[in-house]
Structure 1
Amino acid sequence: MNIEAVFVDRDGTIGGTGHFIHPKDFTPYSFSRAALQILKYNNIKTFACTNQHRISRGEATLDDFYKEFQSYEFDDAFICPHSSDDDCNCHKPKPGMLLEASKKYKLDLTKTVFIGDVGSTDMLAAHSVDAMKILVLTGWGYSSLNQYRDKWAEIEPDYVAENLLDAVKWVINKNKV
């Protein structure tokens, strides 16, 4: 399979606890930078894809997040600054950010992968565009897979990974098939 791009959620996937942490205070997991570098080394585009409703509250700016994602060497970042109560098309689980990336980079979303820790947002967004879905057990991943499984019961992840590095290794192996 020729994987064109990987979308990566931020909070709970790259680092943090799953809760909002301002970019100036955010710490990626020890393996996250290496995981993203593996994708780059294998010529797979990487895109951050994150809901950040605290931007709409004035607690951070889009620029704060863009600078953070540039420091991780993402090819681009797709950030929803709206709250879940806003009627936007970009707040996951809606597919707006994925569709925007597809249009901007001429991606076939069926040849992309979404790595995230929340079934009811990340996995549902990926499913809605037929992207491959990897749920990581960091952040909200374990509880998403267990006590909150009912919120996305009709969807099966393509892979459940221990963390981002495990997910990336699976993507690389899948890409070789």
Structure 2
Amino acid sequence: MKQEIEAVFIDRDGTIGGNGHFIHPNHFELFPNAQLAIDLLKKNNMKVFAFTNQHRISRGEATLEEFETQFKQYGFEHSYICPHGINEDCSCRKPKAGMLLRAAKEFQLNLSNCAVIGDVGDTDMLAAHQVGAIKILVKTGWGEESLGQFRDQWKETEPDFIARDILEAAHWLVIQSRL
């Protein structure tokens, strides 16, 4: 069953690098295979977008521009970043689907032909589930904990694929697009 994958939304912390916690863009390091994964998706004609909650922006610990610059350096076509505080009422903070819906409008995307790759079940996977996107959970960052002790927080959905890391997730998506 070949499925055209129009775009891939990728979480930052714990998915492409870091440890799942906030790390300032000036100190953030990609996992060794993350750039390869991003490049592989792009090489296979998929748009690649950053998709991240960064409430530390609201605290003045980093700027939106610093994140946007970082994502451009990694080759992301565009970045969707929720800068709001945890207790602010916004439509973009995952698990809400606001960032995905905005991207769909801006890039004329059918979200059921898009994928979300992330390490947190109760944010990344729930946001993807709301819009019918393909859900890929990576075991890096908070992934193992999402599948274990925090599984009850997102029990209403199942990932479409569980990957050991971002590169395995990218390979799986490329294979799905060719079947």
Q: Which TM-score band applies after superposition, normalised by the shorter structure?
A: over 0.9
Structure 2: state its 5+ residue gaps.
Answer: none
How many angstroms does 1:84 deviate by?
A: 2.3
**Deviation of the 1:154 alpha carbon:** 1.1
Q: What is the match of residue 54 of structure 2?
A: 52
Local SS of the residue matching 1:104 = helix
Q: Distance in 1 between matches of 2:110 and 2:57?
A: 30
Q: Distance in 1 between matches of 2:150 and 2:77?
A: 32
- TM-score, reference length from structure 2: 0.98
Moved over 4 A (4+): none
Residues paired across the two proteins, number: 177
RMSD over aligned CA atoms reads 0.4
Q: SS of 1:100's equivalent? A: helix
Is residue 37 of structure 2 the alignment partner of residue 35 of structure 1?
Answer: yes
Alignment correspondent of 1:124: 126
**In structure 1, distance between residues paired with 2:141 and 2:164:** 11
Match runs of 1:162-173 below 5 Å? 162-173=164-175
- Aligned to 1:157, what secondary structure does the other structure show? coil
Question: What SS does the aligned partner of 2:56 have?
Answer: helix
By how many angstroms is 1:72 displaced? 0.4
Sequence identity percentage? 56
Distance in 2, Cα, partners of 1:53 & 1:65:
12
Provide the C-alpha distance between the structure 2 equivalents of 1:113 and 1:6, rounded to a whole number of angstroms.
5
Which amino acid letter does the alignment assign opposite residue 152 of structure 2?
Answer: D
Counterpart of 1:136 (choices 107, 132, 138) is 138
Unaligned segments of structure 1, at least 5 residues: none
User: Which digits, 9 at most, give the CA deviation of each residue in 1:89-117, with x for residues without a partner?
Assistant: 00000000000000000000000000000
Q: Secondary structure at the match of 2:80?
A: strand
Deviations 1:24-46 (A, max 9, x none): 00000000000000011111000
Distance 1:73 1:61 in 2: 19
Alpha-carbon separation, structure 2, partners of 1:144 and 1:58: 28
The reply to whether residue 77 of structure 1 matches residue 91 of structure 2 is no
Alignment partner of 1:101 is 2:103: yes
Normalized against structure 1, the TM-score is what? 0.99
Structure 1: how far apart are the matches of 2:50 and 2:155? 25
